[in-house]
Amino acid sequence: MKIELIGGCSESELNGRIKKVAAAGKISRSPGNVFEVIDSCDDYESNLKLVKRIIKMGHKSIIEHDYLVFAINDVTPIIEQTIIGYRLTSFTIKSRREVDFRTAGFYVPEFRNKDGEIHENNEELKEKFINHSKMLFNTYGDMVDGGVNVEDARFILPYCFHSNIIMGLNARELEKMIVAFRFGPLSKIAELKEFGKKLYDICKTNVPYLVSTIKGIEENTASPFEYLESMAERPEIKILDKASLISYTPNADDVILESSIMYHYQCSNEQAKKILAEMVKKDKEAKEKLMQNILHKEERRELEQVSFSFQIPISLSILTHLTRHRMHALLVPEFIPMWDLNNYVTPEKIKVAFNDLYQNAVKKNIEVFEEFKAAGVMEEDLIYFYIGAQMVNVMTTMNARNIQWICRMRCCNKAQWQIRFIAKEIAKQVKEVAPLLGLGLGPTCMTDRYCGEGRECCGLIDSLLEADSKK
């Protein structure tokens, strides 16, 4: 694992970053305009002292002005899936849809027993794990060599493989991440704890005002679910067949339309209802026409006034495709307690020519996992037996604008097949309860007669435009 701060590390850059944060700290209580305040922050030591004092007072919003970008090399998707849960963090990840990962390498944990101590058979377990991981990588390579595209072959990759990430975040988010990884329940996962420590070490010289606030934090690894587990017996894991709409804003179409009227005329909701009713009397298609206007506005804040909650079955390989849509409220289960490894998906293209090879590899993975489990290896070290095909139920709440954006990208024929199925199912179920909103849910070629795929275009837009010309 290697982490480096990209830029902002030289003495002059560090001075400039601290000056910027100090100016943010002074602006609210200092006379003069913003440029005069900035000019007054000309001493590094004084700026650093000021920033530390303001942080100690609890006013941490000022450090959001210090933005840092990290290059992260040779970490597992366990870290990847954890950091992308920080919604104010930006990240770019090496694509498993585009890049052959057979030479990526992989992480080998120090296997611990149930007490957290190094297992007495650690070296033997590590050797077995290495050989087993090589087998899974060889299976991946054999399928790629046999014509399976890498986006489908990746489903067999164990979650110990190395990933590469560029991550950008402000210092406030960085502090939260370090604290969570070093001192919270996540610190039980050794790789995450090491990741947090490396970030902290970088802070010592490059984000010095954070060091004192983090240094005094005490470790608290207690599970937040202890009460729940004491009250309810763990049920059998059941993975859904498709996305399921759990709850939604009643009369969502009317709420969107009324919010647009209230926004434009600055009237009450009761007035908006009456205006909408009068519009319908004049034109039976008034609701649809107004909705179309809203759906194609540059700013579609009206769509943010209604929400829909879904439970969605998805594989680990495709989870990042959903997580990239940052502004919906995504709830992904913790890696611990262990999920059922028997819940996995097999890509159709693999079923055609490599089903036996794939199924045997998955079966072997489960067998070796059970061996390690029976040997008393702690769960936090067993998570690297997850593979990309592992299915998990996630929950998300999205406003209508989120849904429209997801459908525009993920209903496209160029989208990955599993996320495309999920997006189409979401669109279908939303249309059933909000048919007018449903008019704007689909790929851009269907809703806007536009395709942004360039040379990668599937050609559907051409047939749609031709059909339009004949109407």
SS (H, E, C) 211-271: HHHHHCCCCCCCCCCHHHHHHCCCCCCCCCCCCEEEEECCCHHHHHHHHHHHHHHCCCHHH
Amino acid 199: pLDDT = 96
Per-residue pLDDT of the chain in tens (471 residues, 90 and over written 9): 999 999 888 999 999 999 999 999 999 888 889 999 999 999 999 999 999 999 989 899 999 999 999 999 999 999 999 998 888 899 999 889 889 999 999 999 999 999 999 999 999 999 999 999 999 999 999 999 999 999 999 999 999 999 999 999 999 999 999 999 999 999 999 999 999 999 999 999 999 999 888 877 888 888 888 899 899 998 999 999 999 999 999 999 999 999 999 999 999 999 999 999 999 999 999 999 999 999 998 889 999 999 999 999 999 999 988 988 878 889 999 899 899 999 999 999 999 999 999 999 999 999 999 999 999 999 999 999 999 999 999 999 999 999 999 999 999 999 999 999 999 999 999 999 999 999 999 999 989 888 888 888 888 988 888 888 887
Burial class (CB in 10 A: 0-12, 13-18, 19+), 362: buried
Q: Specify whether the backbone of 221 is left (phi greater than 0), alpha (psi in -120 to 50) or beta.
A: alpha
C-alpha span between 323 and 77 (Å, rounded) = 13
C-alpha span between 138 and 348 (Å, rounded) = 20
C-alpha span between 185 and 182 (Å, rounded) = 9
CA terminus-to-terminus distance, the chain:
60
Query: pTM for the whole thing?
Result: 0.90
Amino acid 222: pLDDT = 84
Distance (Å) of CA 60 to CA 50, 77, 213, 441: 12, 30, 11, 40
Cα-based angle 95, 99, 104 (whole degrees, multiple of 5): 95
Amino acid 100: pLDDT = 94
Q: What is the DSSP code (8-state) at residue 114?
A: T
Distance (Å) of CA 290 to CA 259, 287, 353, 437: 11, 5, 51, 11
Indicate the pairing of strand 307-315 with strand 329-331: unpaired
